[in-house]
Amino acid sequence: MDNNPIQSVLHYILSSIQYFFQSGLFMLFCRIFVVFVQLWISSLAIIWTSIFIYLMLYYHYIPQVWTAKDVHIQYHSTCDRSVIDSLCMIPTARVALKQGRNDDDFQRGQTYRFAIEMNLPESDVNWNQGMFMVRLKLLDQKQRTVVNVAKPTGLKYKSTPLRVIVTLLYWPLFVIGLAEEKQHIVVNLLDNFTEGSYPKVGPVTEAVIEFEARDIQIYPPTILKVGAALTGFRYFMYHHWIISAIVGIIFIASTLYFLTFMTYINHLFKSNNNNNNYNVNNIPSITNDDTDETNKDYKDNDTINDQISDELNVKANEDNNDEYREAEAKADQHEESGLTGDINDDLELSIESDVSSNSETQQIPDSSFS
């Protein structure tokens, strides 16, 4: 008998597939697959939700560390500088720190730093100017002064031989414009300004910068930088943002997983309670109609019992009357023969036996007719 191995293998595979679909393994596999898909979708939703929550928390909790504001310097260029007593306005700039109500550059209770960056050309005017003061005034909405500070600055010293050597070395770059004879100066004006810590004044809305030097020369652009001095948890979240993001997202995801699990358990308990209530409600209950029918059946049985008892009593009375008549007839006959006393005794005994039999007949249990 020739058996093709390929057909045997195919037959075995088809039989196994048929057995798999006909048995409970297929339904079990479907249930496991559905649960796996639900867990996968729930996990993705929880992870992305955790990332979104952490980003929103980071955006609202961490202030903008550095904010750059352009400084546009204003001064009188037509005043007579040759006259010492001439009234010439010193270079001044006004910088709006809050453009509107929705500008949240300053958070209440947060400490900020103010610094100004400027480019001073290495000109003879600036070398002759020497040191000068840069003043910062912070004003509120009513133009009241909240903070008034001043810091000195100036060109860094270079001797004449050093300036000549630098010029000879970098003259090609100076000629083609790739380098300039200037110095980048950074002045830290204020290091510990805390919004909301000054009584009797409102929040800061404007900064006034004054360069207390009549003959100062400044290259644009000049920048006012406002930085948040982060401390504690904010410092860790900003400077170690990778570790902070991992820990924060894991914590938020764990919380969401716990809440989801508790919600699922609560849903299961409610489902079981609903099933139990459904089973209890399906139990047939005795209604008023059923009670009335039962009472009616009992009344019918009582009526039947009463009718049967009356019929038996009537029949027993008729029998007793017949026997009594027969006994009287016999008594009459015996009186005639002189045996009256004995017959009367027999008559009384027979009447008593009949009465007892009638009473037993009346005590028939109702259960026999139910």
Q: Which H, E and C letters describe 75-112, residue by residue?
A: CCCCCCCCCCCCCCCCCEEEEECCCCCCCCCCCCCCEE
Residues 70 and 175 grouped into a single domain: yes
Task: Please state, in angstroms and rounded to a whole number, the distance separating the CA atoms of residues 127 and 100.
Answer: 41
Which pair of tokens denotes residue 191?
Answer: 């290091």
Assess whether pLDDT exceeds 80 at residue 19. Answer: no
pLDDT value of residue 365: 44
Q: Between these two residues, 132 and 358, which has the higher pLDDT value?
A: 132
pLDDT value of residue 265: 85
Residues 178 and 94 grouped into a single domain: yes
Q: Which amino acid is at 107?
A: Q
The predicted model scores a pTM of 0.55
Q: Between these two residues, 15 and 165, which has the higher pLDDT value?
A: 165
Residues 88 and 223 grouped into a single domain: yes
Domain containing 211 equals 66-229
* 201, 84 contact by CB (below 8 A): no
Residue 149 pairs in a beta bridge with 136
What's the structural domain count of the chain? 2
Average pLDDT over residues 324-344: 59
Residues 71 and 168 grouped into a single domain: yes
The per-residue pLDDT of the chain, averaged, comes to 77
Q: How far are the Cα atoms of 122, 171, 328 from residue 219, in angstroms, in the given order?
A: 11, 20, 161
Question: Nearest CA to 110 among 188, 200, 186, 203?
Answer: 203
Residues 86 and 171 grouped into a single domain: yes
pLDDT band (50, 70, 90) for residue 36: confident
Tokens 């912070």, residue located:
138
Q: Which amino acid is at 227?
A: G
Question: Nearest CA to 355 among 327, 301, 319?
Answer: 319
pLDDT band (50, 70, 90) for residue 229: confident
The residue among 229, 254, 277 that closes a domain is: 229
Average pLDDT over residues 99-122: 78
Within a domain: 306: yes
What is the dihedral angle through the alpha carbons of 220, 224, 225, 229, rounded to the nearest 10 degrees?
A: 160
Residues 96 and 223 grouped into a single domain: yes
Assess whether pLDDT exceeds 80 at residue 158. Answer: yes
Residues 317 and 179 grouped into a single domain: no
Within a domain: 281: no
pLDDT value of residue 179: 87
Buried b (16+ CB within 10 A) or exposed e, 224-250: bbbbbbbeeebeebbeeeeebeeebbe
Residue 141, C-beta contacts closer than 8 angstroms, at least 6 positions apart: 202, 203, 205
